[in-house]
Amino acid sequence: MLFGFLQISLILIILVLVAPPLGYYMAGVFSGEQAKLGRIFQPVERLLFQASGINPHISMTAWQYIRALLMSNLVMGLFVFVLQLAQGFLPLNPTGLGEPTWDLALHTAVSFITNTNQQHYSGETTYSYLTQAGGLGYLMFTSAATGIAVAIAFIRGLTGQPIGNFYQDLVLAITRILLPISMIGAILLVIAGVPETLAGPAQATTLEGATQFIARGPVAHFEIIKQLGENGGGFFGINSAHPFENPNNFSNLLETVIMLVIPAGLVITYGKMANNPKQGWLLFWLVFLIFTFLIVITAIGEFEGNPIVNQLLGESAPNLEGKEVRFGWALTALWAVATTGTMCGAVNGMHDSLMPPGGFSALSDMFLQIIWGGQGTGTAYLFVFLILTVFLTGLMVGRTPEFLGRKIEKKEIVLASVILLIHPIAILIPAAITLAFPEQLAGISNPGFHGISQVVYEYASAAANNGSGFEGLGDNTVWWNLSATFSLLAGRYIPIMALIFLAEGLAQKQPVPETIGTLRTDTVLFTAVTGGSILILGALTFLPVLALGPITEAFELIHLSGN
């Protein structure tokens, strides 16, 4: 047990060391302060803007920013949708795969353009190299950059600046953050043993004399942006549990840290851009503590194992069902909380096999969306909770609700409420419909309370733009593909539009001078109150679902084991 927690501690220490420097670097990128590095990237950026006829120096209004975001995402999504349906006639298809069904193609295109990468298919048996690397891999960059752009626009609005230009933010996020890190990371993964080839499946002869075909492909560069961009969609069906995606402990360490570093760093980016590093660090440690707590309860649950199995064995043993032995219970528990906390969605073990504390942590991560949250959008959601906390505490103590010198009024609260309310709507309504017709719609493979978790998890994963799942669910059906598409779109674009309007509204407000009646938000006390607000406004919304799922499942296991 001690060695497992030492492994977890090492990765958390590395995260604390590498996330802040990246956060400061990202602040410099979007503040125009990276002059030396800028000279390296500017020729490419200038060429892109000239070719597209876009003037990146013109700041947009909220409507213009949203329109640019939605139209660009629509065009990119349509491109990948058509690419899927035409892959049977296109090159780089060594196994001659045909086109998927229209509903699967639609779900996949929407899933990847929303930075979710929820997969109702196995990559190696469904999509060609061209579709995966040229289509889905392309969306992995642009969808992640879209989330970063939204976070930066929101931070600018909070600090009273114009929200900026979407196209400039999108390009800078790719050329100066995602692409350079991905190039270095892909090389490290190739060195670690991850394949990068356009050759078809390898053919091998087994000890019994049978012929076996081993799938491979251009995996390394796909894998690194999958983790860095919090995309999560695996080249292979079993994702980062596959030895060609994640062959050893070095690759697992790299992929875990890479998955966490941008969302954790963006909290520090806020502190730098707002000229209030103290508040950035306080929020960083708030999220870090919640994150660590969920890791601990998940890891303990996996280490103690299944009480029914332990009773049959006559001894206590870790839960290794659905896990790769090269990672074990500790690194699988850490990955499960990290991938659902960052909304990456990649897996190095099967979440369906997690003990109830692990299922509780994974669902809680996706319900809250701020531990550390989606690529860019998680940072914005964190400040939505902060704004609501300012309003609530201001009312309770009789102080003016102000954030960064700007009054929080009716419009801001309405937009913040929309952001928080759309999430349970996108999860609970389709889940209720599905569970009302379990034989016709659900496709549940586990009976009882775990089956409820399977269904709720799938919609929570879609609405939170996460993409992982309690596998075993029969989700490649017209119902699942279309209903999950609804949750994907609602969970992504409605909050983004509200965030941009909220940012513009705050930016246009006249700052008011700080007085004795101003409620300071960069204190330990206020940060602790924010943590309480997150639990009250976020966690309690979904408490009945957690009670019907992993909490009751835990009590059921205890009862059946006779303890």
Residue 313: predicted pLDDT: 81
> What would the pLDDT profile of 331-386 be if each residue is shown by its tens digit?
999 999 999 999 999 999 999 999 999 999 999 999 999 989 888 888 888 888 98
The whole-number average pLDDT for the span 192-210 is 91
**Residue 167 contacts residue 49 (beta carbons within 8 Å):** yes
| DSSP tally for the chain: helices H, then strands E | 22, 4
Average pLDDT over all residues of the chain: 91
> What would the pLDDT profile of 181-191 be if each residue is shown by its tens digit?
999 999 999 99
> What would the pLDDT profile of 100-131 be if each residue is shown by its tens digit?
999 999 999 999 999 999 999 999 999 999 99
Q: Read off φ and ψ for residue 118, nearest 5 degrees.
A: -70, 125
pLDDT of 226 over the 90 cut: yes
Residue 47 C-alpha from the chain's centroid: 31
Residue type, position 194, single letter: V
DSSP 3-state assignment of 407?
A: strand
Residue 336: predicted pLDDT: 96
Q: Give the separation between CA 404 and CA 275, rounded to whole angstroms.
A: 10
DSSP 3-state assignment of 203?
A: strand
Lowest mean pLDDT among 17-26, 223-232, 549-558: 549-558
The whole-number average pLDDT for the span 289-315 is 91
Between 56 and 180, the higher pLDDT residue: 180
From residue 172, give the alpha-carbon distance in Å to each of 48, 179, 270: 11, 10, 17
Label residues 379-396 b or e (16+ Cβ within 10 Å = b): bbbbbbbbbbbbbbbbee
The first and second tokens of residue 416, run together, are: 């913040």
Query: Tokens 């073990």, residue?
Result: 349
For residue 516, what pLDDT band results from cuts at 50, 70 and 90?
low
Residue 67: predicted pLDDT: 96
Share of the chain above pLDDT 70, in %: 97
Q: Give the separation between CA 495 and CA 425, rounded to whole angstroms.
A: 12
Which of 256, 243, 190, 227 is CA-nearest to residue 7? 256
pLDDT of 200 over the 70 cut: yes
Helices 478-508 and 62-85 sit at what angle, rounded to 10 degrees?
A: 160
For residue 392, what pLDDT band results from cuts at 50, 70 and 90?
confident
**Residue 242 contacts residue 234 (beta carbons within 8 Å):** yes
Lowest mean pLDDT among 134-148, 338-352, 401-415, 513-527: 513-527
From residue 79, give the alpha-carbon distance in Å to each of 7, 225, 474: 42, 20, 27
Residue 353 per-residue DSSP state? G
Which of 309, 512, 303 is CA-nearest to residue 403? 512
Between 442 and 556, the higher pLDDT residue: 556
**Residue 445 contacts residue 474 (beta carbons within 8 Å):** yes
Q: First-to-last CA distance in the chain?
A: 22
- Dihedral of alpha carbons 405, 286, 146, 479, sign: negative
Residue 391: predicted pLDDT: 86
The whole-number average pLDDT for the span 138-154 is 95
Residue 456: predicted pLDDT: 94
Q: Give the separation between CA 280 and CA 271, rounded to whole angstroms.
A: 4
Residue 35: predicted pLDDT: 57
pTM here?
0.94
Which of 89, 106, 107, 109 is CA-nearest to residue 98? 89
> What would the pLDDT profile of 252-293 be if each residue is shown by its tens digit?
999 999 999 999 999 999 999 988 899 999 999 999 999 999
Contacts of 7 (CB under 8 A, 6+ apart): 330, 331, 334
* Cis check: omega of the bond before 281, within 30 degrees of 0: no
The whole-number average pLDDT for the span 187-203 is 95
